[in-house]
Amino acid sequence: MSLLSRLSWAALFALVGADSYKEPFRPQYHFSPAKNWINDPNGLVFHKDKYHMFYQYNPTGNVWGNISWGHAVSDDLLHWSELPIALDAFQAPSGPLTELYFSGSAVVDSGRSSGFGNKGQTPLVAVYTSLYTQDMTLPSNQTVRNGQQSQSIAYSLDDGLTWSEYEGNPVILGPPSAYSDQYQNFRDPFVFWYAAGQHWVMVVSLAQEHRILLYKSSDLKEWTITGDFGSVNAVSGAWECPGLFPLPVDGNDHDIKWVLMVGINPGAVAIPQGSGTQYFIGTFDGSNFTADPGTILSSPVPAHYTVYEDWNKTSFAASSWTPTGDFVGEGPEGGTVLTLWGKSKGDGDGDIGSLTSSNFTITSKYVQFQIGCCSNPAIVGAYGTPQDIETTINLLVSGEVVRSTTGVSGGGITWRSWDVSDLVGQTASIRLIDSSSGGWGHLQVGEIVFTDSPLPQEANWVDWGPDFYAATSWNGLADETRIAIGWMNNWAYGTDIPTSPWRSAMSIPRKLELKNVQGKTQLVQQPQPRLSPLEQGKPLQQRFWKNMSPGNITLPLSVKSVDAELTFHAGKNPKETGISLRQGSDGAAIRVGYDFATAQMFVDRSAETQDVSFSNLFPGIYYAPLSADHDGMVKLRILLDWSSVEVFGGLGESAITAQIFRPDSDLAVSVFSTGDAHSVSLKLYPVGSVW
């Protein structure tokens, strides 16, 4: 009998120390560690009826650092027990903290192809990125450089409790020679068994090249490159954490497609300065992934627009822009991108000032513009103070900033859009501000145009919210079953969220499927664990309104966590319909709803009343495309926890995940409609704690 079977999970949990799990903002049915920092889920594997989840972990604090592999296990994807650290950076074979254990995957080597099995035991094999922190010669006699990322393996012979690193590590020292300069950006291997070819497959990211490399192996030790994929769709930031797996379309085993998931940071849909996950649908032949033509999207560029500014002038005055600070007496250098360098062009980050356009009347629904570096958002009330370090493009009406967008540090220039349909007819101006004199301290702005057409979609997003990243799926399940989980945080502010003694949590696990929705094959997802063990069956509220007019209906209950199902149809004058959660006495709340005019569901956390000074990128409204079904019904499934909300629209073809940090006193719930809706049905189920 193995050590894992002899020790109870409760005893193992006690080894790492259980907490009360009642601290402010502590998730009650999402996984979070007892203490310290976590990020990407790693090494997801189902073995002997248990779900193993490893994750990026700092054993010594609740900020990123000393990255090791933490470990938790569950019978039902709801109740998790923490186990001892699996891969500990303080115990690296080459010396403490000389190797950090970055993201990766794990497999059950049931055929014992690796040779690690002992006396018929089935090994678990983890495949991960080793980040080396100094120049050195490894125990395997391979030489690595400071900052090098290589692919390594470790194995367990006691069902995942303890791990031994392969003495021949790394198994892939660096990327192919054509990309040898990318040795510091070669990471996050996802490995699986390809039964048709009887070999192992690895997909691994060349982060800065926006490219996925594919390898194969017979023994998990020797790897041969077979193909690559990229660079398409969202490419303004680094590609990370890839995953590749098959799914039947509409449950048809004779119609199998392959899904490639790829993280991007920065350059995501919800917060361009932050992280998110996109996907591609295509075919895989054991060596190469080929995306279907419909999954490759054109770069988002405006349509049917009027150019307001293209910077093809010799001075700012000729463009009717008023400069201040270091930009007085300067002018654009010509072309379509303006970089706010001042007189000291050799040290442009040190130059500060602003450019303000002449007044104009808003006549179009959208203002769209290209923006590049750098990420320093506006801070309300900081103008004229040392805290004012923004690099932004702002829209002003009556002297007040009504829209503001910052750039992306380390990302390319890309198109962004403001919906100004509610401001049509008003007088406005545009102000470009560079108040930052430090690193990443300038601003790039390209063409500015006016249009009535929204920007086209640039990628197929797994989740349209700000807090779903590094999504990966469990190996070891049946071929037609794919369950994934994501890091419920964002690199734009992840190290600063106001939680202690832990920082970050995981999303709800989600079952992934491919379905034809509105004539298009799409990835759909629904919460996988049945929450019924936590819900006790009977709804808190079950309401039906045949017709709903504009207004708010406050419900007689107070909740911090809930599972809600909301369905409705458009009325004669449909606008927005939805539910307000965690509402305070001042009316501020988390608003979840649907905009009939744009056919989008949304999560609005812009009216947060709690202290969000940790990041001005945190407040916002997040949208996801969602069409009503063939009967005209809109369906929303909403999971509220103490510090998060996850929304699944329709069949699950759209999802939005967002953290929230509401005061404990704000517990009210109301249903709202700004237009007319009918056949409005609401069910609210209480969700208890797993702790």
d(CA 327, CA 331) in angstroms, rounded, equals: 8
Residues with Cβ within 8 Å of 626's Cβ and at least 6 positions away in sequence, in order, are: 594, 599, 600, 601, 634, 649, 650, 653, 654
DSSP string, 238-280: EEEEEEEEEEEETTEEEEEEEEEEEEEES--SS-TTS-EEEEE
pLDDT-derived band at 383 (thresholds 50, 70, 90) equals low
- Nearest to 409, CA basis, from 395, 389, 429, 394: 389
Q: What is the pLDDT of residue 412?
A: 75
| pLDDT tens-digit series, residues 489-528 | 999 999 999 999 999 999 999 999 999 998 999 999 999 9
Q: What is the pLDDT of residue 79?
A: 95
- Which amino acid appears at position 148 of this protein? Q
Superfamily for the 3-16+38-297+461-513 domain: Glycosyl hydrolase domain; family 43 (2.115.10.20)
Q: What is the pLDDT of residue 348?
A: 66
Phi, psi of 186 (to 5 degrees): -130, 95
Q: Does residue 337 surpass a pLDDT of 90?
A: no
pLDDT-derived band at 317 (thresholds 50, 70, 90) equals low
Other CB atoms within a 10 A radius of the CB of residue 591 amount to 20
Residue 259 has, within 13 A of its CA and on its CB side, a CA count of 29
Mean pLDDT value across residues 560-571: 96
Of the given ranges (396-410, 453-467, 654-668), which has the lowest mean pLDDT? 396-410
DSSP string, 588-644: --EEEEEETTTTEEEEE-TT--S--TT-TTS--EEEEE----TTSEEEEEEEEETTE
3-state secondary structure labels for all residues of 647-671: EEECCCCEEEEEECCCCCCCCEEEE
Q: What is the pLDDT of residue 1?
A: 34
Phi, psi of 14 (to 5 degrees): -65, -25
Domain definitions of the chain by residue range: 3-16+38-297+461-513, 305-451, 531-686
Catalytic machinery residues? 40
Q: What is the pLDDT of residue 8?
A: 42
Q: What is the pLDDT of residue 6?
A: 36
- Nearest to 301, CA basis, from 446, 405, 461: 446
Q: Does residue 454 surpass a pLDDT of 50?
A: yes
d(CA 644, CA 27) in angstroms, rounded, equals: 8
Mean pLDDT value across residues 562-587: 96
pLDDT-derived band at 340 (thresholds 50, 70, 90) equals confident
Q: 3-state class of 181 per DSSP?
A: helix
Mean pLDDT value across residues 166-180: 97
Q: What is the pLDDT of residue 388?
A: 76
Which residues partner with 197 through β-bridges?
Answer: none
Q: Does residue 309 surpass a pLDDT of 80?
A: yes
d(CA 245, CA 523) in angstroms, rounded, equals: 12
Q: 3-state class of 11 per DSSP?
A: helix
Query: Which secondary-structure segment (H or E) carries 3?
Result: helix 3-6
Q: What is the pLDDT of residue 332?
A: 75
- Nearest to 151, CA basis, from 103, 219, 96: 103
- Nearest to 43, CA basis, from 86, 95, 76, 14: 86
Termini Cα distance of the chain = 29
Q: Any idea which residue has 């570096």 for tokens?
A: 373
pLDDT-derived band at 342 (thresholds 50, 70, 90) equals low
Phi, psi of 123 (to 5 degrees): -80, 145
Q: What is the pLDDT of residue 12?
A: 43
- Nearest to 326, CA basis, from 307, 308, 310, 349: 349
Q: Encoding tokens for residue 382?
A: 């900081």
pLDDT-derived band at 35 (thresholds 50, 70, 90) equals very high
Query: Mean pLDDT of all residues in the chain?
Result: 91
Q: What is the pLDDT of residue 2?
A: 41
The larger pLDDT score, comparing residue 453 to residue 299, is at: 453
Q: Any idea which residue has 């990123």 for tokens?
A: 64
Residues with Cβ within 8 Å of 383's Cβ and at least 6 positions away in sequence, in order, are: none
Fold designation for 305-451: Jelly Rolls (2.60.120)
Q: What is the pLDDT of residue 7?
A: 40
Q: What is the pLDDT of residue 639?
A: 98
Same fold for the pair 3-16+38-297+461-513 and 531-686 = no
Degrees to nearest 5, angle at CA 687 with 683 and 689: 175
Helices (H), 57-106: none
Question: What percent of the chain stands above pLDDT 70?
Answer: 93
Asked whether the beta carbons of 251 and 422 are under 8 A apart, the reply is no
| pLDDT tens-digit series, residues 582-640 | 999 999 999 999 999 999 999 999 876 556 678 888 999 999 999 999 999 999 999 99
Instruction: Say whether the peptide bond before residue 374 is cis (omega within 30 degrees of 0).
Output: yes
Q: Does residue 5 surpass a pLDDT of 60?
A: no
Superfamily for the 531-686 domain: Exo-inulinase; domain 1 (2.60.120.560)
Q: Any idea which residue has 């005061």 for tokens?
A: 663
d(CA 675, CA 387) in angstroms, rounded, equals: 41
d(CA 199, CA 397) in angstroms, rounded, equals: 62
| pLDDT tens-digit series, residues 241-280 | 999 999 999 999 999 999 999 999 998 999 988 999 999 9
- Beta strand pairing status for 36-47 and 502-503? parallel
Mean pLDDT value across residues 462-475: 98
Q: Is 126 exposed, middle or buried (0-12, 13-18, 19+ CB in 10 A)?
A: buried
Asked whether the beta carbons of 215 and 388 are under 8 A apart, the reply is no
- Nearest to 151, CA basis, from 203, 93, 91, 90: 203
The larger pLDDT score, comparing residue 66 to residue 404, is at: 66
Asked whether the beta carbons of 73 and 160 are under 8 A apart, the reply is yes
Sign of CA dihedral 336, 340, 341, 342: positive
Residues with Cβ within 8 Å of 598's Cβ and at least 6 positions away in sequence, in order, are: 454, 623
| Whole-number Cα distances in Å, 317 to 328, 330, 525 | 10, 9, 53
Q: Does residue 34 surpass a pLDDT of 70?
A: yes
Asked whether the beta carbons of 680 and 535 are under 8 A apart, the reply is no
Q: 3-state class of 93 per DSSP?
A: coil
| pLDDT tens-digit series, residues 193-217 | 999 999 999 999 999 999 999 999 9
| Whole-number Cα distances in Å, 1 to 123, 212, 443, 592 | 15, 41, 63, 51
